[in-house]
Structure 1
């Protein structure tokens, strides 16, 4: 999965085959305003998805110079796993020649500009990997990680590279939670009381009740845009197929 929070981004040349605009309807704009997120089906084309996926595999296996890209390994992966099977995510992708094909997608940028205004800039770009056996990403708000404001001028774009479902750990959101304050975050504890040190999560158990969680099953190319105060997370990957 690719995710990219926007705050401001210079537009560069991209493939002439990619449509240059994507006009949001009043219904879509209202949905985003009311719920704090918006899913657009098939926004990113196959060519970009395939290129990003192959780049991730090359970097995970050490086949190319990764430059400024950082790698986070899954501390809970089974012993003996190598390459992409042991990787949780790679980050700092904005200046990579291949990954920039995603961040410079004109339709993506057009949607972003309609949600937060012009003069946009990409802030942080990562590729998330969830091999089978990967655990939950606890409920959280992205604004917890950002030192800049205002919140209404920030939006995240998250694109599915493979099919994602509840079985393999898709995102879930709490509609309307972007109107909440910024909750206190820290390392949460699992059902056995052990600290989950991979991610920070919201400490208030009332912030993301199970019955309020809306899972976002998505096909490759589907993209969700969400407000930085939106409470969201993801479930475990209980499948046997690699998810990216």
Structure 2
């Protein structure tokens, strides 16, 4: 590691929120090895959030994730899609959170091309009531309160739209992006708006990996766990129908392969923390998760 490197060079890009780091989209240099993801095992799910019992709560804490079908109604799904389209179309002039897939940036796009090229929307809940409603969904918040043992606080909201041929999000731990002390129970909530499949880049997880401590992350294709440290033999994929939801611990290893289909894979993603959670500095976080910071190479 060069002594001249700054903290900004060593970690992922920073958002305006001091607790959040954004993924480093400009770091993409090549396509991932397809063998980094396995479709041999599929996560089991329960039919609705009303069916969550103490057994599912225990499963979440032991395995680091829980899959629940039918969390959103058809009306909520369509409302979310309409909200996303409205923001992409610029109907709210105060919203600046649209992120285009790298290969399309700087091009003069038609409306259809623009919608097909958007990779992500960030920080939208204060700009669309339909999307804000989902972030405050009473059943989701109730389950999060049970999982956390105290009321949750939503601190990150994103729409992940993964267009056709949209790039991979490599294996990582979410806590490597957030300036929070080790031991903070961060929970991610990923809600499918389209069917999420093996072909279009559904999420993959490593069950139980949240118990194995922090992994070093590196600026490779993104801010990620080194490919050679990924235990693909433990990989479980998480296909979802629209309205289905994945809850996962912020220390659980997970990733999403390239969208090899001809269709978008739209989803909402929220991160929540306990109301009592504290913050740490970026330097402290990189001292835990930053491979280059510690003089280690991938």
Q: TM-score of the superposition, structure 1-length normalised?
A: 0.81
Are the structure 2 counterparts of residues 23 and 114 from structure 1 closer, same or farther at C-alpha, using a change threshold of 3 Å? farther
Deviations 1:98-136 (A, max 9, x none): 211101110011111111122221100000011111121
In the other structure, the counterpart of 2:155 is: 123
Find the partner of 2:102 among 75, 88, 92. 75
Larger Rg: 1 or 2? 2
Find the partner of 2:167 among 120, 132, 135. 135
The answer to whether the 8 Å contact 1:152/1:227 transfers is no
Displacement of 1:242 in angstroms is: 2.1
Of residues 116-125 and 79-88 in structure 1, the stretch that sits farther from structure 2 once superposed is 79-88
Find the partner of 2:224 among 180, 198, 201. 201
In the other structure, the counterpart of 1:12 is: none
Q: What are structure 2's unaligned runs of at least 5 residues?
A: 1-18, 20-48, 267-298
Q: Distance in 1 between matches of 2:253 and 2:236?
A: 11
Q: What are structure 1's unaligned runs of at least 5 residues?
A: 1-6, 8-20, 189-195
Q: Distance in 1 between matches of 2:231 and 2:182?
A: 27
Whichever structure has more helix as a proportion of its residues is 2
**Number of residue-to-residue matches in the alignment:** 214
Q: Distance in 2 between matches of 1:66 and 1:201?
A: 34
Residues 1:180 and 2:203 are matched in the alignment: no
Q: Distance in 2 between matches of 1:83 and 1:55?
A: 16
CA RMSD of aligned residues (A): 2.1
SS, match of residue 130 in structure 2: coil
Residues 1:155 and 2:178 are matched in the alignment: no
Q: TM-score of the superposition, structure 2-length normalised?
A: 0.67
In the other structure, the counterpart of 1:229 is: 251
Are the structure 2 counterparts of residues 141 and 95 from structure 1 closer, same or farther at C-alpha, using a change threshold of 3 Å? same
In the other structure, the counterpart of 1:17 is: none
Deviations 1:193-212 (A, max 9, x none): xxx2xx31112622x23222
